[in-house]
Chains A and B, each alone.
Chain A
Amino acid sequence: MAHLRFHLRFPEDKIKEPVLCQINRAFPKVDTNIRRADVREKTGWMDVEFSGDPAEIERAIAGIRQKGVIVDPIELNVVE
C-alpha cells in the first residue's frame, strides 16, 4: 500500500465538476483524502493523499489529468 501526496489545480472551467468523486467511482481501490483545499469562484486547488496500489494510483492520477485537472507533487517545483 502506497501513500502519495499531490497538489491538484482546477482550471476555472473545471471548478464545478465533481472530478474527485468521479475518480473515486472509477478507481474504488484508491482512497483519496483531502487534507487542505481552497476553492473559489475562479480558482481552486486541493492537497490530496492517494492510498492504494502504486500502479492503480498512477492510473487514477492519469484519469484526473485527462479530465483537465493539473496534478503536481505536493512540493510543487523541485527542479531549481
Chain B
Amino acid sequence: MATPAPMDSDKIKGLVCRECGKEYPAVSLHVCDMCFGPLEVQYNYKVIKPRLTRKAIEAGPKSLWRYVDLLPIAGNPTVGLAAGFTPLVPAKNLGDELGLDTLYLKNDTVNHPTLSFKDRVVSVALTRARELGYDTVACASTGNLANSVAAHAAAAKMQCYVFIPHDLEASKVLGNLVYRPNVVEVEGNYDDVNRLCSEIAGEHRWAFVNVNLRPYYAEGSKTLAYEVVEQLGWDAPDHIIVPMASGSLLTKIWKGLNEFHKLGLIDHMATKVDGAQAEGCSPIATAHKLGRDFFKPVKPTTIAKSLAIGNPADGYYALKAAAESGGTMDTVTDEEIVEGMTLLAQTEGIFAETAGGVTIGVLKKLVKQGIIKRTETTVALITGNGLKTQEAVMNAVGRPTRISPSLVHFQKTFGLGNHER
C-alpha cells in the first residue's frame, strides 16, 4: 500500500528500480510494479554537490545525521538523533597479531542506543516513516533489528510490532519486551514468519522497516562508509571487511564510498570491499567462490545468528559490488568465529557479537592468503555487541580463579611472593 509523499526536499529525486530503471516518487514502496525488482533511493547529486563540503560535514552533529544531505529524509531528523559517529579504533595489537601495519576497527558495538549498527538504519527508517505519516512501525527480526526498532519506537512514542518465531530463546525475547512493543510470536517455522510478515506489510498501513520502508532503511548503512572515510582524515582505506547477512550492508558501503568520490569529498578511491560469512550460512560467499552471479539459498546452521539469512535479498547485488570493487569473500567455521571474538577481545578490549568474530576470522584468512597485504590500510566493521551473544563464548573463556578470603592464599595462587611472612 503506497503512501503519498510529503513535500520532498530537492535532494531526493525519488525511487528507482534496480532492475528495469523505472522511476517512482519517494513513497513507501519497495518493489517495482513493472518487473518486481527492488527499489532504491535516487538522489539529485547536482543539488547536493555545491552545499556538501568537508567543512559543512565537520560542522554537523556528532551523529550519523552530519551526513543528512545524503540520507533519504526530506526535513530534519526526528528519531535516533544520537545514533552513529562511533569510534574508529586504531588496532595496533590485533594488527601485530595478524600481520597488518595499519588496521582499524569501526566499533558499532557502542552505537546508541542498542549497541549495534541497526541503530543507523532504524534511525533513518523511523524518521522517514514519520515524514510519510505513519504512527505504527514494525519489523520481523530475531535479534538486533528488533531491539533497535523497539527502542527507537518507544523514544519516538510510535506504536510498534515485532514479529518473532515462537521458539526464540527467552533472552532475546526479553531484550525486546523491556521497551513494551507488541511482540508477536508466530506459531510456525522461520519460513512461516517470513511469509506472514511480507503479507502483513502489504495489507496494513504500517511502516515495516525492512519490507515497505526498505529502500530508506538500507540507506542508513552508508553512514558507516562515510564515517570511516572522515575519521581516516578524508581518505578511503585499501580494504573494508564487511559481515554479510542480506548483503545490503556491503552494497551500501560500496555506494557510500562511490558517492563521496563522485561528490569530490575524496580525491581517490580504490577501496576493495570484502565480504565475510559464516560457513554454516554462506550463500553469497559460496557463489563468489564458485564465480557465479547468483546464489543458492541455504538453511542456516551457525552460531552467527545475526548473519543467518539463507535467502538474502541483496545477495546478487553484494556479489556485484564486491566484484566491482575488486574485493573478495570468504567464510569461517563456528570455531573460527569464537576464536575471532576472543582474539578481538583479548587484543583490543572489544567484546563483539558473533558477527564480529566472522569479520575478524575472515580478515585473518585474507591476510594469511596474501589477499590483504601488510602495508594496506584495512578497516574491519564490528557491527554488534558481544553482550547480546554471550552464550557463544561461554565455553571458550575459562573460569574465574576461586580462592579463600586470605591474602596468603591469593599471593600463593598467583605466585606473587611474600606469602611466607
Which of A's residues lie within 8 Å of B, judged by CB?
4-5, 9, 35-36, 38, 43, 47, 49, 70, 72-80
Q: Is B288 an interface residue (CB 8 A)?
A: no
Q: Which residues of B contact A77 (CB under 8 A)?
A: 194, 246, 309-313
Tell which of B19, B34, B140, B297 touches A80, judged by Cβ atoms closer than 8 Å: B140
| B19 to A, closest residue via Cβ | A36
Q: Which residues of A contact B294 (CB under 8 A)?
A: 38, 43
Nearest-neighbour CB distance to chain B for A51, whole angstroms, equals: 14
Q: Is B5 an interface residue (CB 8 A)?
A: no
Which of B's residues lie within 8 Å of A, judged by CB?
19, 30-31, 34-37, 139-145, 163, 165, 190-191, 193-195, 197-199, 201, 208, 210-211, 214, 245-246, 294, 296-297, 309-313
| A61 to B, closest residue via Cβ | B195
| A73 to B, closest residue via Cβ | B198
- In Å, the complex CA distance between A55 and B297 comes to 27
Contact A74 B198 (CB under 8 A): yes
Q: Which residues of A contact B193 (CB under 8 A)?
A: 79
Contact A80 B245 (CB under 8 A): yes
Contact B194 A73 (CB under 8 A): yes
Contact B141 A80 (CB under 8 A): yes
> Chain A: interface secondary structure?
strand
Interface contacts beyond A74-B198, A79-B194: sample of 9 additional A-B pairs, CB < 8 Å, sorted by A? A5-B36, A36-B35, A49-B36, A72-B191, A74-B31, A77-B194, A78-B198, A79-B193, A80-B143
Tell which of A35, A43, A78 touches B36, judged by Cβ atoms closer than 8 Å: A35
Q: Which residues of B contact A78 (CB under 8 A)?
A: 140, 194, 197-198, 201, 208, 210-211, 313
Contact A79 B197 (CB under 8 A): yes
* Given A36-B19, A75-B313, A78-B211, CB of A9 within 8 Å of CB of B297: yes
- In Å, the complex CA distance between A35 and B31 comes to 12
Nearest-neighbour CB distance to chain A for B323, whole angstroms, equals: 18
Q: Which residues of A contact B19 (CB under 8 A)?
A: 36
| B209 to A, closest residue via Cβ | A80
A-B contact pairs, 19 of them (CB 8 A): A4-B199, A35-B34, A36-B37, A38-B294, A43-B294, A72-B195, A72-B311, A75-B198, A77-B246, A77-B310, A77-B312, A78-B194, A78-B198, A78-B201, A78-B210, A79-B140, A79-B141, A79-B309, A80-B246
* Given A43-B294, A72-B311, CB of A79 within 8 Å of CB of B142: yes
